[in-house]
Amino acid sequence: MDHFQLRDGVLYAEDVPMPVIAEDVGTPVYIYSRATLVRHARVFRDALSGLKHPHIAFAVKANPNLAVLRVLANEGYGADVVSGGELTRALAAGMKPEDIVFSGVGKTHAELQQGLEEGIGQFNIESEEEGYELAAIARRMGKRAACALRVNPDVDARTHEKISTGKRENKFGVPLDKAQEIYTALAGEDGLDMRGIAIHIGSQLADLEPLETAFGKVGELIAALRAGGCTVTHADLGGGLGVPYKAGEELPQPAEYGAMVERVTKDWDVTLMFEPGRVIAGNAGVLLTRVIRVKRGIERPFVVVDAAMNDLARPAMYGAWHDFEAVEPTGEKTISHIVGPICETGDTFAMDRECDVLTADDLAVFRTAGAYGATMASSYNSRGFVAEVLVDGDKYAVVADRIAAGAIMDAERVPDWLD
Ligand SMILES: Cc1ncc(COP(=O)(O)O)c(C=O)c1O
Ligand SMILES: N[C@@H](CCCC[NH3+])C(=O)O
């Protein structure tokens, strides 16, 4: 069920008319639906109900807003973090340290230490070098770090090249054919409790087949490690499940994913861990924007909106499609280019898009903006950071203040030796 729907000709977020939020909070503004987040969290969990005690860690990078994390913490979700900042947020939102997994190729010394101090559940080590560094820090602190080794299975996830992470040329994980040697060596370190294998081959996967291939390779590795005398009690299968960005688009459902995981892992005898991001948050959010003006173009009008590539980077970065529609559609359609105000041609949300007829001051939304939306914002062109709102039934709250361009400037200094 879609919690962003037209009622009497006006788009609502749950039971709140979007013009009310625009009036109160201004635009552009991200709007998240609590009911959608909860529903997605439960659908994903239910999809894994055939597994014994799966551990689900929301990929904080997809949407690190504290209120969003709290909703998921309340659903029993842990967190997959990739920086000290994300770790701090996950804890602040109420996630338990033992439910937190720390991934990432470039965890700094300070971040490894922070993870140990907080007592997080697992480090996903991405290189031999990182493993030895973590071991040394843990030894010094008199601790043992629970670890999984992230492997790079050299599988083409068949997604956008910039968000594919499991090809051998990608920077993530250790090559599969070196994994046994590295795991065995790290298992001999006092500071480490090598307990599992981790994998994540990419994001926005439209097909389960690459995942199944990659998981099959993990299964073989686990068997080889055990045959070699290593202990393996955990396997972290990452995230990656894609979501529909276009109305009517069909993607594998969590239930199909769960059934595939169950089939492939049935003999593994491990605790399975998951790191879903987009599938939980993507369709739980929209970016509400106001039309600044409609500029006559050569062949098509340019609808210039007050959101830009600094607020929602995905179209500029990956050529990504986000459905775009009027908040109060007249029923009339036209073909337009949808652009932001930033001084880059890349600040284009859509070219030649059939969409609702819009005029200056009209409101419109970009859909499927709840994951990798606000979190990827910048202040390019000295624009501020967009506000975020969480809706719950007929109530809503600003869960991230708009940060004005002036506030960002306040952090800058002109040294007096320039005078
Ligand atoms: C290590 C890791 N885990 C989980 C995720 C979440 O991926 P997704 O949002 O596609 O589920 C990512 C991002 O792709 C990631 O890099
Ligand atoms: N930022 C990407 C996803 C990256 C996933 C990170 N591992 C996107 O918007 O689609």
- Asked whether residue 142 carries a pLDDT value surpassing 80, the answer given is yes
- Asked whether residue 336 carries a pLDDT value surpassing 90, the answer given is yes
| pLDDT per position as a tens digit, 52-77 | 999 999 999 999 999 999 999 999 99
Q: For residue 61, what are its two tokens?
A: 């990078």
Q: Is 277 in the pocket of ligand 1 (CB under 6 A)?
A: yes
355 carries an active-site annotation? no
- Does 341 appear as a known binding residue? no
CB 291 within 8 A of CB 361: yes
Q: Is 254 in the pocket of ligand 1 (CB under 6 A)?
A: no
Q: Is 125 in the pocket of ligand 1 (CB under 6 A)?
A: no
Ligand nearest to the CA of 57: 1
- Asked whether residue 163 carries a pLDDT value surpassing 90, the answer given is no
CB 153 within 8 A of CB 201: yes
Question: Tokens 């504290």 — which residue?
Answer: 66
Q: Is 356 in the pocket of ligand 1 (CB under 6 A)?
A: no
Output the pLDDT for position 158.
Answer: 86
Per cent of the chain over pLDDT 90 is 95
Distance CA 40, CA 256 (A): 15
Which of 152-156, 186-190, 255-259, 340-344 comes out lowest in average pLDDT?
152-156
DSSP H or E run through 73: helix 66-74
Region label for 158, one of left (φ > 0), alpha (ψ between -120 and 50) or beta (otherwise): left
The pLDDT of 373-392, averaged and rounded, is 98
Q: Is 348 in the pocket of ligand 2 (CB under 6 A)?
A: no
Question: Tokens 């996967």 — which residue?
Answer: 205
Mean pLDDT of the chain: 97
Output the pLDDT for position 169.
Answer: 85
- Asked whether residue 154 carries a pLDDT value surpassing 90, the answer given is no
| pLDDT per position as a tens digit, 247-270 | 999 999 999 999 999 999 999 999
Domains of the chain are: 4-32+282-409 (2.40.37.10), 34-278 (3.20.20.10)
DSSP H or E run through 396: strand 395-400
- Asked whether residue 157 carries a pLDDT value surpassing 90, the answer given is no
Please say whether the dihedral angle defined by the alpha carbons of residues 8, 367, 292 and 295, taken in this order, is positive or negative.
negative
Task: Give the number of the atom of ligand 2 that is nearest the alpha carbon of residue 376.
Answer: 1
Task: Give the number of the atom of ligand 2 that is nearest the alpha carbon of residue 372.
Answer: 9
Q: Which band of pLDDT confidence, cut at 50, 70 and 90, is reported for residue 167?
A: confident
Among the listed residues 147, 230, 343, 355, the single catalytic one is: 343
Rounded distance from Cα 295 to ligand 1 centre (Å): 38
- Does 415 appear as a known binding residue? no
The pLDDT of 35-60, averaged and rounded, is 97
- Does 275 appear as a known binding residue? yes
DSSP 386: P
- Asked whether residue 150 carries a pLDDT value surpassing 90, the answer given is yes
